[in-house]
């Protein structure tokens, strides 16, 4: 996985953790003090395995993120770990057989149980635990929010803990003693993929999402302090439990959680280059060290130096460590190339920051009265953001109402597994009406005759009735009483909502506000009429983004934000009554494909529209109007960001490419990243800026984005590039 390029500290600590596991299995301090050895092997080194689990959760779910790329990377991961486990089983088969492990009396059931939970050789348990734990966390994350996943897996961990370090407490309660007896019967012990692994994998995944979210990140000193405190608590906890004789196994502690969390976060504060070989080595050490134990014992016996090597616990530990590290290092050198190849970068891509999406949904909801829920408008491929990824993310955040423009968009969401209500805001042709029923999609009734068309079609439809209160686009006229009521009378139409649309909610001009108020009143009157006639109008809704921002106190059941959900206003800098901290979700990036000097007097591009007045360094960027950049941006002062600086667009924007002047930016090379919308260093280009330059609204700019550019979901802004090249920036290509 290339995603872990910038977390070198994690790689190094993983190797240290692998050595701690060796300590665990060799007891380096036993020659001096049993007490000291207990502290080292049964308390301190207990950090090692949670750390491994967290690293897996961190990298796997960070790289996978949401949507498109989640499944393939999970499959890849499971296959890799499964393969490793199979290798481990084979590797230790001779030792197993030698120890009489798979004797004639072991049943197939017992062996299967061992393979699934315990591992066929004592330290191999980690691999099946990783497989099962990852599957559990993956499944939970599909359905629940990060924090809820932590609560669920944390509860499993608590159950596990009372069958482990705190067993002495549980054993005193009869019912619990019975419960755990059964648990042990089923699983052997609780240190497995159900009670132990999921929590730390989920914690790693949680950190992966939060790590570079600047708002939630704290300083290295803060995490260091938290680690020291929780580490001291861990020592105290482990020692106390040991003294009191409460432990059954000494694996699962309370303080292990904050200690492992703080350590892991500490290591993610600063991004340094990853060490692929070191990472490989820690896995190899983990897999090989029991073999090394056997070999060291055998060799010592053969050479007659048992007293020196085996007799001295530290010498034994050292010998095993060397005997594990050396072959692991050799294997790493042979099989892992020193530096990873330059990560391939797409030609052009859209980057989606899902944590900003979460944020926008949250603040919009907060701006509204408690009883008002959001109906997320995800039409036009979620304004160019990718409707499936966006809808699924919002669904995880608790949103149950979605709106699209047409039936094709609704069906796409359903096929991708989006639940809840999906409302079509526009017209559906008669030949596609059946799909509304098949996919349980709600249709807007556009006017009274439209209701008749649906009723005549046969089949039962869920509908929202639209009332025209002055926009004069869709909806039955607010003052045509008979027609209005007729829409609620049809036997085959189940009316679950009634709504209207404001024509000028974005204006704070008193004259325009008066018009919006008039629309609101008309809507209210129409609803009163419907109620008075004894009909149920269902859920009421009126506000789109600007309706929320400028008329936040309306007591409606739903509000329909579109553009604001994506962190944008239609016109950048426009005034709104409520100020909401909206964060842009979309960035647009592309690769530099060529950099060359254009001599004074030469021209650039179609129509020779740019003439070089002096020698000019020109970079060609692999993105054009077919990727959604408006062609009119040519010659309107537009620019892109390269190395955190503005490079003016020169010449005419082509279908797949554009050219920029990089004379003022040293060292631009092929493969460098150009940011068309988004941040790079301290500089930033917004969709609003491009809209302003091309005389349109932000909505139109983002809607045309990414029809061709590969979509890519991330939950956080890209880390600030450490160096100017791609490799240094820790950027990775979508797989
Ligand atoms: C598009 C649309 C919305 C969303 O509008 P924004 O201004 O993007 O928030 C809401 N309601 C209807 C009927 C729409 O067509």
pLDDT digits (tens, 9 = 90+) for 203-218: 998 888 775 455 566 7
Q: What's the 406 CA to ligand 1 centre distance in angstroms?
A: 13
Say if residue 655 carries a ligand binding annotation.
yes
d(CA 173, CA 184): 16
Asked if the structure places residue 726 within a domain, the reply is no
* Nearest ligand 1 atom, CA 560: 10
In the predicted model, what is the mean pLDDT of residues 6-29? 90
Say if residue 139 carries a ligand binding annotation.
no
In the predicted model, what is the mean pLDDT of residues 135-144? 87
- pLDDT tops 90 at residue 254: yes
CB of 562 closer than 6 angstroms to any ligand 1 atom:
yes
Q: Tell me: the pLDDT tens digits for 425-435?
A: 999 999 999 99
CB of 394 closer than 6 angstroms to any ligand 1 atom:
no
Which of 360, 379, 404, 425, when mutated, tests ligand 1's pocket best, judged by the most ligand atoms within 8 Å of its CB? 425
Among the three residues 274, 301, 324, which one is the final residue of a domain in this structure?
Answer: 274
Same domain, 526 and 450: yes
Asked if the structure places residue 709 within a domain, the reply is no
In the predicted model, what is the mean pLDDT of residues 64-88? 72
- Residues in CB range of 587: below 8 A, 6 or more apart: 350, 351, 353, 675, 677, 678, 679, 718
- Residues in CB range of 102: below 8 A, 6 or more apart: 96, 111
* Nearest ligand 1 atom, CA 699: 8
Same domain, 442 and 542: yes
CB of 389 closer than 6 angstroms to any ligand 1 atom:
no
Q: For residue 72, what pLDDT is reported?
A: 60
Buried b (16+ CB within 10 A) or exposed e, 113-133: ebeebbbbbebbbbbbbbbbb
Question: Hey, how many other C-beta atoms are within 10 angstroms of the C-beta on 246?
Answer: 16
Which CATH number covers residue 523? 3.20.20.10
Give catalytic residues, as residue numbers: 379, 606
Asked if the structure places residue 700 within a domain, the reply is no
Same domain, 667 and 606: yes
**Of the candidates 556, 493, 488, which has an alpha carbon nearest to the alpha carbon of residue 519?**
556
Which CATH number covers residue 647? 2.40.37.10
At residue 143 the predicted structure's pLDDT band, cuts being 50, 70 and 90, is confident
d(CA 125, CA 123): 5
- pLDDT tops 80 at residue 713: no
Same domain, 37 and 168: no
Lowest mean pLDDT, pick from 154-163, 210-219, 293-302: 210-219
Q: For residue 559, what pLDDT is reported?
A: 98
- pLDDT tops 70 at residue 340: no
**Of the candidates 437, 569, 428, 431, which has an alpha carbon nearest to the alpha carbon of residue 492?**
437
Asked if the structure places residue 331 within a domain, the reply is yes
- pLDDT tops 50 at residue 99: yes
Q: For residue 102, what pLDDT is reported?
A: 67
Angstrom distances, CA of residue 660 to CA of 2, 196, 643: 30, 54, 13
Q: What is the mean pLDDT of the chain?
A: 88
CB of 561 closer than 6 angstroms to any ligand 1 atom:
yes
CA pseudo-torsion sign 113, 114, 115, 119: positive
Question: Hey, how many other C-beta atoms are within 10 angstroms of the C-beta on 578?
Answer: 14
Q: What's the 376 CA to ligand 1 centre distance in angstroms?
A: 9
Q: What's the 449 CA to ligand 1 centre distance in angstroms?
A: 24
Q: Which tokens is 452 given?
A: 């008749």
- Identify the domain containing residue 26 by its residue range: 1-42+275-343
- Are 267 and 10 spatial neighbours (Cβ–Cβ below 8 Å)? yes
In the predicted model, what is the mean pLDDT of residues 53-58? 92
Q: For residue 158, what pLDDT is reported?
A: 96
Lowest mean pLDDT, pick from 97-106, 177-186, 265-274: 97-106
Q: What's the 561 CA to ligand 1 centre distance in angstroms?
A: 6
* Host H or E run for residue 154: helix 146-162
Same domain, 623 and 492: no
Asked if the structure places residue 714 within a domain, the reply is no
* Host H or E run for residue 70: helix 70-98
- pLDDT tops 80 at residue 77: yes
Which of 474, 547, 562, when mutated, tests ligand 1's pocket best, judged by the most ligand atoms within 8 Å of its CB? 562
Q: For residue 728, what pLDDT is reported?
A: 28
Q: Which tokens is 672 given?
A: 């460098």
Q: What's the 504 CA to ligand 1 centre distance in angstroms?
A: 12
d(CA 488, CA 658): 55
Lowest mean pLDDT, pick from 87-91, 429-433, 606-610, 710-714: 710-714
- pLDDT tops 50 at residue 114: yes
Nearest residue by C-alpha to atom 3 in ligand 1: 544
- Are 563 and 403 spatial neighbours (Cβ–Cβ below 8 Å)? no
- pLDDT tops 50 at residue 598: yes
Same domain, 525 and 594: no
Q: For residue 727, what pLDDT is reported?
A: 29
Which of 367, 560, 568, 697, when mutated, tests ligand 1's pocket best, judged by the most ligand atoms within 8 Å of its CB? 560
In the predicted model, what is the mean pLDDT of residues 31-49? 91
- pLDDT tops 60 at residue 258: yes
Nearest residue by C-alpha to atom 6 in ligand 1: 562
Asked if the structure places residue 60 within a domain, the reply is yes
Q: What's the 541 CA to ligand 1 centre distance in angstroms?
A: 11
More confident of the two residues 339 and 195: 195
In degrees rounded to 5, what are phi and psi of residue 99?
-80, 5
Same domain, 382 and 470: yes
Lowest mean pLDDT, pick from 299-303, 567-571, 725-729: 725-729
Same domain, 100 and 140: yes
CB of 563 closer than 6 angstroms to any ligand 1 atom:
yes
Lowest mean pLDDT, pick from 70-74, 570-574, 601-605, 660-664: 70-74
Lowest mean pLDDT, pick from 352-356, 436-440, 533-537, 715-719: 715-719
Same domain, 269 and 285: no
- pLDDT tops 70 at residue 543: yes
* pLDDT cut 70: percent of the chain above it: 90
Q: How many domains does the chain have?
A: 4
Q: For residue 367, what pLDDT is reported?
A: 95
CB of 560 closer than 6 angstroms to any ligand 1 atom:
yes
* pLDDT cut 90: percent of the chain above it: 63
Same domain, 648 and 541: no
CB of 40 closer than 6 angstroms to any ligand 1 atom:
no
CB of 376 closer than 6 angstroms to any ligand 1 atom:
no
d(CA 176, CA 8): 44
At residue 647 the predicted structure's pLDDT band, cuts being 50, 70 and 90, is very high
Which of 361, 367, 368, 377, when mutated, tests ligand 1's pocket best, judged by the most ligand atoms within 8 Å of its CB? 377
Q: Going along 361-490, which residue ranges are E strands? A: 373-377, 401-404, 421-424, 442-445, 461-468, 476-477
Asked if the structure places residue 725 within a domain, the reply is no
Q: What's the 536 CA to ligand 1 centre distance in angstroms?
A: 24
Q: For residue 485, what pLDDT is reported?
A: 97
Same domain, 299 and 248: no
CA atoms within 13 A on the CB side of 327: 15
More confident of the two residues 471 and 2: 471
Angstrom distances, CA of residue 264 to CA of 37, 268, 269, 538, 724: 25, 7, 9, 49, 27
Q: For residue 720, what pLDDT is reported?
A: 34
CA angle 281, 285, 286 (to 5 degrees): 120
- Are 293 and 320 spatial neighbours (Cβ–Cβ below 8 Å)? yes
Asked if the structure places residue 718 within a domain, the reply is no
Same domain, 123 and 35: no
Lowest mean pLDDT, pick from 234-248, 543-557, 569-583, 706-720: 706-720
């Amino acid at each position: 996985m290339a995603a872990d390029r910038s977390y070198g500290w994690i790689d190094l600590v993983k190797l240290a953790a692998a050595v701690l596991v060796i300590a665990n299995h060799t007891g380096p301090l036993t020659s001096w003090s049993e007490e000291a050895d207990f502290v080292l092997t049964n308390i301190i080194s207990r950090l090692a395995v949670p750390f491994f689990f967290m690293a897996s959760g961190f990298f796997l779910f960070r790289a996978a993120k949401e949507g498109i790329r989640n499944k393939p990377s999970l499959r890849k991961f499971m296959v890799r770990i499964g393969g490793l486990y199979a290798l481990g089983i084979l590797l230790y088969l001779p030792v197993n057989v030698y120890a009489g492990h798979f004797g004639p009396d072991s049943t197939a059931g017992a062996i299967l149980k061992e393979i699934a939970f315990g591992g066929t050789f004592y330290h191999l348990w980690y691999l099946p635990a990783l497989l099962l734990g990852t599957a559990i966390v993956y499944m939970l994350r599909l359905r629940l929010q990060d924090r809820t996943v932590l609560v669920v897996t944390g509860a499993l961990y608590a159950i596990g803990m009372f069958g482990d370090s705190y067993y002495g407490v549980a054993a005193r309660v009869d019912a619990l003693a019975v419960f755990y007896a059964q648990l042990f019967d089923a699983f052997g012990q609780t240190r497995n993929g159900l009670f132990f692994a999921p929590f730390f994998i989920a914690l790693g995944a949680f950190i992966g999402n939060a790590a570079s979210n600047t708002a939630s990140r704290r300083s290295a000193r803060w995490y260091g302090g938290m680690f020291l405190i929780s580490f001291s608590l861990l020592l105290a906890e482990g020692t106390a439990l040991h003294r009191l004789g409460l432990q059954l196994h000494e694996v699962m502690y309370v303080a292990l959680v904050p200690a492992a969390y703080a350590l892991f976060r500490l290591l993610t504060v600063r991004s340094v280059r990853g060490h692929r070989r070191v990472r490989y080595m820690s896995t190899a050490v983990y897999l090989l060290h029991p073999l090394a134990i056997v070999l060291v014992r055998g060799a010592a016996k053969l050479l007659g130096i048992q007293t020196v090597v085996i007799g001295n616990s530290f010498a034994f530990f050292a010998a095993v460590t060397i005997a594990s590290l050396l072959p692991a290092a050799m294997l790493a050198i042979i099989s892992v190339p020193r530096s990873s190849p330059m990560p391939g970068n797409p030609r052009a891509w859209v980057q989606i920051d899902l944590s900003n999406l979460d944020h926008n949904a949250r603040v919009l909801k907060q701006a509204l009265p408690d009883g008002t829920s959001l109906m997320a408008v995800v039409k036009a491929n979620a304004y160019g953001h990718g409707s499936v990824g966006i809808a699924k993310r919002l669904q995880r955040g608790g949103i149950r109402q979605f709106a699209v423009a047409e039936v094709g968009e609704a069906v796409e969401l359903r096929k991708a597994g989006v639940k809840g209500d999906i409302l079509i805001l526009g017209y559906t042709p008669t030949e596609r009406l059946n799909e509304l029923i098949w996919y349980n999609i709600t249709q807007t009734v556009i006017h009274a005759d439209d209701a008749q068309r649906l009723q005549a079609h046969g089949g039962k439809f869920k509908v929202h009735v639209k009332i025209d209160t002055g926009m004069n686009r869709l909806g039955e006229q607010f003052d045509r009483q008979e027609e209005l009521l007729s829409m609620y009378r049809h036997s085959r139409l189940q009316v679950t909502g009634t709504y209207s649309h404001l024509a000028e909610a974005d204006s704070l001009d008193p004259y325009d506000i008066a018009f919006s108020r008039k629309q609101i009143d008309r809507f209210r009157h129409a609803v009163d009429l419907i109620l008075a006639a004894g009909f149920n109008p269902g859920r009421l809704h009126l506000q789109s983004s600007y309706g929320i921002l400028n008329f936040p106190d309306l007591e409606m059941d739903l509000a329909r934000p579109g553009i604001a959900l994506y962190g944008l206003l239609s016109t950048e800098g426009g005034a709104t009554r409520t100020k909401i901290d909206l964060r842009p979700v979309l960035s647009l990036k592309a690769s530099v494909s060529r950099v060359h000097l254009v001599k004074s007097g030469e021209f650039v591009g179609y129509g020779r529209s740019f003439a070089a007045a002096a020698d000019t360094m020109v970079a060609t960027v692999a993105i054009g109007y077919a990727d959604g950049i408006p062609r009119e941006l040519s010659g309107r002062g537009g620019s892109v960001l390269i190395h955190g600086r503005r490079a003016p667009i020169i010449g005419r924007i082509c279908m797949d490419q554009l050219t920029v002047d990089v004379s003022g930016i040293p060292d631009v090379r092929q493969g460098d990243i150009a940011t068309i919308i988004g941040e790079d260093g301290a500089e930033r280009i917004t969709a609003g800026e491009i809209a302003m330059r091309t005389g349109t609204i932000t909505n139109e700019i983002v809607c045309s984005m990414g029809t061709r550019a590969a979509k890519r979901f991330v939950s956080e802004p890209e880390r600030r590039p450490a160096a100017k090249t791609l490799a240094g920036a820790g950027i990775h290509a979508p797989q």
